[in-house]
Amino acid sequence: MKKSILLFVVMMVLATSVYGLVVIEDEEINIKDDVDSGLYAAGGTVLVDADVAGGLTAFGGTITLDGNVMKGMMACGGDIDINSLVAENIFICGGNLNFDGKAEGGLFSMGGNINIDGDIGSDVRIMGGNIAVNGAVDGDVIVMGGSVIINGYVSGGIFALAGEVTINGIVEGDVEVNAEKLRLGKDALIKGDLKYTSRVEPDLTGSKVGGRIIKGVAVQRSRTRPSRPLTDAAGKIANVLSLMLVSVVLVLLFPSLFDKGVKNIREKALESLLLGLLVLVIVPFAALLIGITIIGIPIALILILLYIIAIYLSKIFFALFLGDAMLKGNRGQVISVILGAVLYAALGLIPYIGGLVRLLALLLGLGAMAAALRKEKPVKTAKAAGKKTKKK
């Protein structure tokens, strides 16, 4: 029951699932026949020119979707083009991302250049270098990037943190912008409030703002650490890539340990959660007590170092669990942990939910790791103990 509840929560957060998975791995993949289930495709070039009845998960250098996907989509690659319908949420990351289709769910994206020409049926969350939203969004738009241009209709509000922000479309809700430079185009219409913080004062003459115009106080730029939104976004992407790399290396080196950890989360979720909370709270206090004496200081420092490493490793256990749950255990640890790391990073961008997911990953990961390490310890068998007693 506990396992089912946890999986349900995770799947609801992801808002996409894969049923009856079809798996294809090749250097060049060209799908022309309809798939009556979910589809997983990984290769150098991936072209899906057919309808997929379930969800779509794709990894590749170049990924192109021309067929309809009846559930959610997850894709990670160098160049990604989506030109058709996706019935649920879309999670994509890559170098160049172009969306010219229709999403009935939301869009969550990280990339270098992101261009949205199609319509989105729910909220949009984007982090990237150059971002353009030209299609209609039936929800809120939250963007972080170097250059952000919003020309399309937005039924909700806009929150933008960027170097330059240009708004030239209709926005039904409030707009909040924190940028070096803000510009409102001639076709811009903001029906709610406009709250902005900009180092360069925008020209709002003749601008159509239905609500209040509120100017925030620009944070003074430090001489030693200048504010660079583009660099910050690139840093976040680099963190995701480094997490993927470290995760792959560790699951290859310690496959048994991670397999036991994921099994603990899957079969004993509540136990892992409570054990993780126990480790999180007790270890710092134990290190403090040990470090009171001069002799104990080196031991306390080592314990704190191991504690910090364990906190980092906890999200790898959770990422592997996420990927394994999405792929229903049909793929190896490497593919699962790569998918899970991307999902973990994407979920972390969602306001409110992101913090909850990170806390869940920390507690479950720490608990699963502690349980897995405990199982690695050798235990004396009853037979060996009996022999020793008899000898006496």
pLDDT at 89 over 60: yes
State the alpha helices, DSSP H only, in 90-228.
none
Residues 353, 228: Cα–Cα separation, whole Å: 26
State the pLDDT at residue 70. 94
With 0-12 / 13-18 / 19 or more C-beta atoms within 10 angstroms meaning exposed / middle / buried, residue 56 is buried
With 0-12 / 13-18 / 19 or more C-beta atoms within 10 angstroms meaning exposed / middle / buried, residue 184 is buried
Give the pLDDT mean for 355-361. 84
State the alpha helices, DSSP H only, in the chain.
2-14, 229-253, 255-267, 269-290, 297-326, 333-348, 353-376, 382-391
State the pLDDT at residue 112. 80
Least confident of 246-250, 296-300, 327-331: 327-331
pLDDT at 138 over 50: yes
Residues 385, 24: Cα–Cα separation, whole Å: 52
Predicted structure pTM score: 0.56
State the pLDDT at residue 330. 64
Give the pLDDT mean for 353-358. 79
388 to each of 244, 323, 378, how far by Cα in Å?
49, 47, 17
Give the pLDDT mean for 135-156. 93
Residue with the bigger pLDDT between 276 and 388: it is 276
State the pLDDT at residue 230. 46
Query: What sign for the dihedral angle of Cα 302, 274, 319, 75?
Result: negative
State the pLDDT at residue 261. 86
The mean predicted confidence, pLDDT, of the chain is 79
Residue with the bigger pLDDT between 11 and 199: it is 199
Residue with the bigger pLDDT between 286 and 230: it is 286
- Chain centre distance of CA 84: 23
pLDDT at 53 over 90: yes
pLDDT at 122 over 80: yes
CA atoms within 13 A on the CB side of 223: 0
State the pLDDT at residue 15. 37
Which helix (H) or strand (E) segment holds residue 176: the answer is strand 175-184
- Work out the angle between the directed axes of helices 229-253 and 333-348 (0-180°, nearest 10): 150
State the pLDDT at residue 254. 87
Contacts 24+ apart (CB under 8 A), 92-96: 93/237, 93/240, 93/342, 93/345, 93/346, 94/63
Q: What is the largest CA-CA distance in the chain?
A: 99
Give the pLDDT mean for 183-200. 90
Which helix (H) or strand (E) segment holds residue 95: the answer is strand 90-99
Residue 312 dihedral angles phi and psi, to the nearest 5°: -65, -45
State the pLDDT at residue 232. 53
| Percent of the chain surpassing pLDDT 70 | 81
| Range picked from 126-135, 219-228, 245-254, 333-342 for highest mean pLDDT | 126-135
Residues 106, 115: Cα–Cα separation, whole Å: 15
Give the pLDDT mean for 89-111. 87
Least confident of 72-86, 275-289, 373-387: 373-387
Residue with the bigger pLDDT between 234 and 85: it is 85
Residues 264, 357: Cα–Cα separation, whole Å: 18
Digit-coded pLDDT (tens) for 207-262: 688 889 888 754 444 433 444 444 455 566 667 777 788 888 888 888 888 888 88
State the pLDDT at residue 7. 40
